[in-house]
A = this chain, B = another copy of it.
Amino acid sequence: MKSSGYHLLKTDQQARRGRLHTPHGPIETPAFMPVGTQATVKGLLPSQVKSTGAEILLANTYHLLLRPGHELVRDLGGLHAFMGWDGPILTDSGGYQVFSLAHRRKITEEGVVFQSHLDGSKVMLGPAEAMQIQLALGSDILMSFDECIPYPIAKEAAEESLARTHRWEETTLQFRPDDGRALFAIVQGGIFEDLRLRSAEFLTNLPFDGYAVGGLFVGEERSDTLRVLQAVGPHLPSDKARYVMGVGTPLEVVECVMRGFDMFDCVLPTRNARHGQAMTFAGALRLKAARFQKDEAPIDEDCDCLACARFSRAYLRHLLMAKEILAATLISHHNLRFMQRLMDGVRRAIEEGRLSDFRDDLASGLGAS
């Protein structure tokens, strides 16, 4: 088994308890990956991120390409040294951000020429560039380059895009590292089940190290999201890791796990934290609300994060109202710790064959808020 391999430990119906080996150590799956877009998880030191229980981070190729530049990061020893994180790092390929953030995109067979959202400069990003950038960053898990289509979209347009995405992804294999770093494919196809299955079949016949499902959670009905995942899951190889990109709420993560997926990332725990939303198993608390003004309780009595260890909801509310930085730090730490507690529970539930009950308990707890 190569050092980047996925090792299946236990199943509970379709759900999988596993371990993914990377050059920077193993991660226990199902796993939630905090997002460090600009080579930092917003508001937290790497040691604080680690203390939430997170084992792997996601960083953004698109952002780091534009600032500070992948060559600078490479020259400074790679992303791990640069940002002071010695665990595994997964980098996206930039495809998603090119289609959501960049200006004046022009798509060619070689990739996308676009204007930087930072300074308007013209940049080219295609399968070759995306791989060269991720190799320069030194990430443990690289993502192949894809086109992210909007929702809704006509099937003909989705089909045309998918064919190009497949050509791009095949190209990325030319740059696949052979040193234990992994290259994951991205299954696309919108909400069209036949396109998704075609994508899964095409990509699983190529020597990728893992498989992601992209282009979901972009505005479609949640029933369509789950239908696509339900359809795709069984067509992915059981001996490789499976990653649903950009997920999600606690319940969505568990729903994805129940459909056989292993890895997840989402900016919401940290973004919502900065806006004063604290996650709990009884739903989110909007800490700016007047009802927390004199509330001496921590966010969650059972939580061991930096916020709950010492600070009251009243203090956190005060920090939010006073626009103090410490609010972002404390609530981000809490929310990331919450996600890791959730994943601990998910992994234990799979080991004990009771994930379905775990999901129902979670849903009724969240619904009770």
Contacts and interface: CB of A to CB of B under 8 A. Distances in A.
A82 B325 contact: no
Contact of A72 (B45, B293, B328): B293
Contacts of A315: 39, 76, 82-84
Interface in A48-102: 67-68, 72, 75-77, 82-84
A46 B329 CA distance: 12
Nearest to A327: B40
Given A43-B326, A310-B84, A329-B329, A75 B318 contact: no
A1 interface: no
7 contacts: A42-B326, A43-B326, A67-B318, A72-B314, A82-B315, A84-B311, A325-B329
The 5 A-B pairs at the shortest CB distance, nearest first, are namely: A43-B325, A84-B310, A68-B318, A38-B322, A40-B326
Interface residues of A, number: 37
B318 A45 contact: no
A322 to B, nearest CB: 4
A321 B64 CA distance: 12
A29 interface: no
A10 B39 CA distance: 49
A319 B72 contact: no
A324 interface: yes
Nearest to A84: B310
Interface string A325-342: 110111000000000000
Q: Which of A311, A321, A324, A325 has the most CB of B within 10 A?
A: A325
A51 to B, nearest CB: 12
Contacts of A201: none
Nearest to A317: B68
Contacts of A251: none
B38 A82 contact: no
A45 B75 CA distance: 33
Interface of A: 38-40, 42-46, 67-68, 72, 75-77, 82-84, 293-294, 296, 306, 310-312, 314-315, 317-319, 321-322, 324-326, 328-330
Q: Which of A44, A76, A312 has the most CB of B within 10 A?
A: A76
Contact of A67 (B82, B84, B294, B321): B321
B325 A293 contact: no
A75 B294 CA distance: 8
A138 B77 CA distance: 49
A47 B310 CA distance: 11
A186 B276 CA distance: 40
A132 B294 CA distance: 20
Contact of A82 (B42, B43, B312): B312
Contacts of A77: 296
A322 B72 contact: no
Nearest to A41: B326
Contact of A324 (B40, B75, B84, B317): B40
A318 B317 CA distance: 30
A19 to B, nearest CB: 28
